[in-house]
Structure 1
Amino acid sequence: MAQSIAQAEQLVEQATASSLSGPEWALNMAVCDLSNADPAIGEMVVRALQRKLQDESPRVVLHALILVEALVKNGSPALHAHVGARSFLNAVAALTDGSLGFDVQKQSLLLIKQWADAFAGAGALSAFQDVYRQLKLQGADFPELENDAPVFTPPPSSLPAVATAASGFDSVAAGKRTRAQQLEKLHADLAVVMDKAAQLRDIWTGGAQGEALEDALDFLRQCQPRMNTLIEGGIMGKIDEKTLEKCLTANDHLLKVLEECRSGGSGSRHSEDLMSFDSPPRAGRKSDVSSGMSHLSLREAEAGGARPSSPTRASTLASMDDGAL
């Protein structure tokens, strides 16, 4: 335990070092893995990051903000609670005055807005909304969300896979991937969603209960709110028709299996308390799927000549706008 805490502390130091020219995603995701493995480590990491947010170096603070973003996107509810503590959010809010430069100001404003949207309705995490509303009342000018990746990125398989995907959602210096690589990753992620929907149907119809069921439900529930935005972008002609069709197909499978579970279809005997579709997703275990799906540039898609498609069906995987899927 002590060794793991020391390792986490060292990783936080390395991931926020002023000598770094940009985020080190392998380090960031290693911090996420350790934080999820032990609640005590997660709490320590958040405390360490709060101290980093008070550093005088804009670069250190920016790296800390990016690491916090990764923790929320890949962290457990316990981590969300630590980040959602008023003392921590106040430390982030203090950075919105611009005293440490534009990049730090923009990142802090983006995170506060992103979290307020993601945790809306989560009573236990009301501080996210409170801080956002307070800054709005004070006249803070929140930038448009770049939606580089969803806040909830559904179960890490392994650090290398997660770190590879995470490198795609650098909200400060994005755009490393080529468009072909982005599309390839998106298609692979859609296949994972299809596979997970099939797994959930098998688990559900088989009458199994427990962690396997909850994991599959959480994964798909976390993906569902991203699919609508992704498909809306396709309908607007910002991705090609083939990719849009894959999105629509994956979304249909996702919605059908969730509806079967919610309505108790296929003779299932599960209790309804396993699913509250109006509540925020658990997002405790995460994968690289939706983070990878989130990073396809819509502007590049338009430039590439993607043709508008007719709005046949609508639903959701990557939070995105005109900046990224």
Structure 2
Amino acid sequence: MTQAQVDELDQSLTTALRSTTIEWAVNLRICDMLQANPTLAQIAMGRIRDRLRKESPVPVLLALSLLEMVVKNCGMSACRFVGDDLAEALVSLVKKRQTWWYGLGRNLHKSGMSTWLPQGASIDEGDRKMWQQASSKVLEMLQLWTDAFMLHEAQLRPVFGAYKELRKDGYRFPRSSHGTSTGLQLIAGAEESPAFLAGA
């Protein structure tokens, strides 16, 4: 990995993660860079993790979209870099609506006091729907990844740990009528998974 590659990735990540809408071409360019040099995935995952910890839903949804595209296009080579801190950020997104901060923000908005407070202190209906969308997206992604890479659980402990924690806590993961995740065929490398073969 050269400094020029790191700089190009950093510039692309900044464009993708600081936008107000999904930058499809930039996201695909990031996937191409990571496929060409898988060691860059660690940098990308670190930046994605940082955006997942934002208090506004838009940057979080952009980061989730990029993360989803990276894993779908790069497969195991990218998923290996989902560390404990990134997995923890994903779990936190699913559990966000259970936090006192989220509850306070919703109550402030409902009480009508949100106009007097700084932006971001209250959670309006639009933000609530986006946080719900983020939570659903995380559950969908974790289900896809665990189905796609079930033979590699030892290499993906943070991913499987997050999945098991949420499952134990009673969260429902999306499933198709075949019992496997919908869209499993869209993940690079998933064709060797027993879940892929069972759903074929």
Shift of 1:147: 2.3
Whether 1:101 and 2:131 are equivalent positions in the alignment is yes
Shift of 1:47: 0.8
Pairing 1:220-239 to 2, within 5 Å after superposition: 221=191, 229=199
Pairing 1:4-83 to 2, within 5 Å after superposition: 4-20=5-21, 23-75=22-74, 77-83=76-82
Pairing 1:233-252 to 2, within 5 Å after superposition: none
* Inter-CA distance 87–223: structure 2 relative to 1 (3 Å threshold): closer
Asked whether the 8 Å contact 1:116–1:128 carries over to 2, the reply is yes
Unaligned runs of 5+ in 2: 98-129
Quote the residue 1:86 is aligned against: 84
Quote the residue 1:152 is aligned against: 187
Asked whether the 8 Å contact 2:94–2:135 carries over to 1, the reply is yes
Report the TM-score when normalising by structure 2: 0.70
* Inter-CA distance 224–120: structure 2 relative to 1 (3 Å threshold): closer
Equivalenced residue count is 162
More helix by share: 2
Asked whether the 8 Å contact 2:151–2:193 carries over to 1, the reply is no
* Inter-CA distance 24–148: structure 2 relative to 1 (3 Å threshold): farther
C-alpha distance in 1 between matches for 2:88 and 2:5: 28
Asked whether the 8 Å contact 1:53–1:61 carries over to 2, the reply is yes
User: Given residue 60 of structure 2, which amino acid in structure 1 is its aligned partner?
Assistant: V
Asked whether the 8 Å contact 2:27–2:66 carries over to 1, the reply is yes
User: Given residue 101 of structure 1, which amino acid in structure 2 is its aligned partner?
Assistant: W
Pairing 1:1-325 to 2, within 5 Å after superposition: 1-20=2-21, 23-75=22-74, 77-83=76-82, 85-99=83-97, 101-122=131-152, 123-144=154-175, 147-148=182-183, 150-153=185-188, 221=191, 229=199, 316=200
The percent identity for this pair of structures is 23
The CA deviation string for residues 230-282 of structure 1, in whole angstroms up to 9 with x for no partner, is xxxxxxxxxxxxxxxxxxxxxxxxxxxxxxxxxxxxxxxxxxxxxxxxxxxxx
C-alpha distance in 2 between matches for 1:88 and 1:223: 24
Asked whether the 8 Å contact 2:184–2:196 carries over to 1, the reply is no
C-alpha distance in 2 between matches for 1:78 and 1:125: 11
Q: Which has the larger Rg?
A: 1
SS at match of 1:82: coil
C-alpha distance in 1 between matches for 2:155 and 2:193: 22
SS at match of 1:33: helix
Asked whether the 8 Å contact 2:149–2:193 carries over to 1, the reply is no
* Inter-CA distance 153–224: structure 2 relative to 1 (3 Å threshold): farther
Asked whether the 8 Å contact 1:53–1:65 carries over to 2, the reply is yes
Asked whether the 8 Å contact 2:148–2:184 carries over to 1, the reply is no
User: Given residue 118 of structure 1, which amino acid in structure 2 is its aligned partner?
Assistant: A
Unaligned runs of 5+ in 1: 155-217, 230-315, 317-325
Asked whether the 8 Å contact 2:80–2:156 carries over to 1, the reply is yes
User: Given residue 47 of structure 2, which amino acid in structure 1 is its aligned partner?
Assistant: A
- What RMSD in Å do the two structures reach over aligned CA positions? 2.6
Asked whether the 8 Å contact 2:16–2:62 carries over to 1, the reply is yes
